[in-house]
Amino acid sequence: MQFCKKCGAIMMPKKEGTKTFFHCSTCKTKQEGSGIITEKAKSDVKKIEVIDESKQEIYPLVDIDCSKCGHKKAYFWEIQTRAGDEPATKFYKCEKCKYTWRDYK
Among candidate residues 78, 74, 77, the one with its CA nearest the CA of residue 61:
74
Annotated catalytic residue, options 49, 53, 63, 85: 85
Annotated catalytic residue, options 57, 65, 86, 103: 86
Active site residue 32: no
Active site residue 16: no
Q: How far apart are CA 65 and CA 54, in angstroms?
A: 24
Answer whether 95's CB lies under 8 Å from 82's CB.
no
Q: How far apart are CA 61 and CA 77, in angstroms?
A: 10
Residues with a catalytic annotation lie at 85-86
